Structure 1
């Protein structure tokens, strides 16, 4: 069983080393003398790190150990024979070791959760049936033969797993990352040599203050570095078409007339992607048509008969008016996509056109652009109104009103600019919105 196998491993050098370290540490707590319980009272036979082993617990575990010996030897042995084998010392030593390892695991933060414990038990070969599957009946029979209840055995199994984890660090060693060891080495072993040069203040040759004549000349030569531009506070009355456009009423008739005058802006002509085979002689044009009627590909016919590559075939994505020859435009815009014309004669030769794609004409309705048109009309009328408004402002100022008073009477807003130079910049050297332009 797993518990027996583990006790064999406990004889390895790593386990002995760990056990020795743990025993030394627990020596600080003390392990009391133990004896067998000869009286009726439950006595403490050992104490390890605050955990006690009572005489009753020891006696119970001794009986379990004797039962195991009988099962292993295959014969009945008396209690006296078992005692002669040193069963008391062996059992107590085993209980002490389990407590020491459990405390060590707890102090290092090792835990075995229920999922891992269940997985380990179910994967234990001794609890599997002939089909290789975990069998609860086999499990129950095994722990009963060993003299354990299920709860006691599961608890012991958990302890054994904890001890196995604790021992693994000594059995297989711990690998420390190179980056960590290098950093620790540099920190501990790095040495630096520092050289200091001490210069007394009295040894310095102090630079004397320059005479007034030199200071005056430097100031004169670098006047810009010691000068600031002139700034003025300004009260600004600024009126733009957008400031008064919202107050202008626009009729539906004005919007309709504007729409009609700008109809080209809201319309898009039909466009077609067109390919062309152009040959100089009619017989060659008829040969092209004959091949096309036989179902041959337009591009392949162009290559084979007229020696045209695909790039030379492409006329582009065109409107009717963009085709320089009217007859070609009329013919091309009667075709469906994928169809081709009969040979058409022009001063350039014989043309056979094919339409590969059609983009239909579009036109935005008046309702779609109504608000845009209204805004355009308002801004146009506002620009005209600015002339009248400008004259009104001049009349107010001419009558002695201040800019603020004139703005108030005409329901206009003024702006206060606390500081502005002749370049339209403020004291931070930044442009003032709408001024520098």
Structure 2
């Protein structure tokens, strides 16, 4: 039975108590004289129920996007309207249950209250004082809270009555499972250019003209945006920055651990519970009963679980000396570790490395110069912005500052020069003619401003300008056509008993393929083609590289009695039944709402929303 998504009263009470002030969206300062937003039949739609449901949906949305969502953002996607509609539907169902006489007894309500952990003391028993205080903290009386529980339980009973008689979708599930579970065994063989009996001739002028006319997209130049820009990057300025030798020496000393690497080992460590277990494992390795990889797998681990990476001798504690005395591939131990006795395998010896100051100095000097250039650029940014604000053109900026003036014919595929920067590509794409220049930061600390001078729309390039590319494209297309024709000819001669290898082909067999299987070097929709074929049938299929031959050897119906397909059928049946039940209940709820007199005080709704801003 499907269950209508609802907001239990206990949940929003816990949320309000823990988060405080309605999780930052509370109603501080909201007048206590407004307690309801409207009515659904004889049932009130309260402010508290709307606030609670809204906060729950906000928390859910924040969990999905991974960041805080403001109420304004929630409103922009209609979350407040969706929540209000949900609350209205719930209250119309509550009203319907009351009119039908569906209700629950006091004992059931009492059980719900007593089982709520929010009202239990540290000993786990119901605390009447805690119960009363908790309700008062959220502005509810005991009567109101218990009434809401009664309504919720009655609504659940009503839902059960509506969807309880929907049968399981067994026939549907078996049909779908039989469709998905059947398999095919096939053979495939590529048709290569070497197998063509007649070479593909070169194109004639009419051939090229026809191909050119039929494929204009292949020879259309993209939109080109002629852009003038003024740019300054740390790399452009670094050569003008002087760095003292003392600064370079100081940076070298700060990073001495990087430039002086001690001898290291690539090591794996396998921990055991006792030394006896470790000794026994080592004996099996020595006797060549198994290797270290098999020993790791026997323990239910992967090599990634035991890999320590590259380590120095001090990283291994008391085991360091023995491990560093071992040769590559050797297993040593047992050695005591803080996790227990262990065997160690040495996978590689990494010799000690030392980079002298003279060797490191050029790179360190360049790094310091770049950092200094970055600081200079950022400090000059305010001055450049002032010049732009004063009406300076890009040409003026190039004359009066370190910015360098250049031009570029920018297209969506441009990646060279300034187009290597994402910020530049975004600005160039968004630029409009006549727009005021803006100074924009680059991710490496540089800056630039640009101007759109003109836009050249996409246009088909003249045939003579693309002749070489046109000839290559024609030949590739002609060869693919010839390969497909050759494949079709071969396929027409293949029977179910033909050994494809005798035809000079290199067949590959693939068994137990389902509709969702993937076969390498086949085109999109290949499995759909396979499942359209009859047993013994052979077809030629076009691919990106040319063509392949495919023969269907065996069709195997789904084994609906197998454990896997039985479980799959159960899942499909449950999903289908749940979907049907939900659709039925949604239709029922919509019908109930349509015939229920609903009144909403939009002024009250706006007032509540204003307090949540």
TM-score (norm: length of structure 2) = 0.25
Structure with more contact order per residue of length (Cα contacts < 8 Å, sep ≥ 6): 2
TM-score (norm: length of structure 1) = 0.33
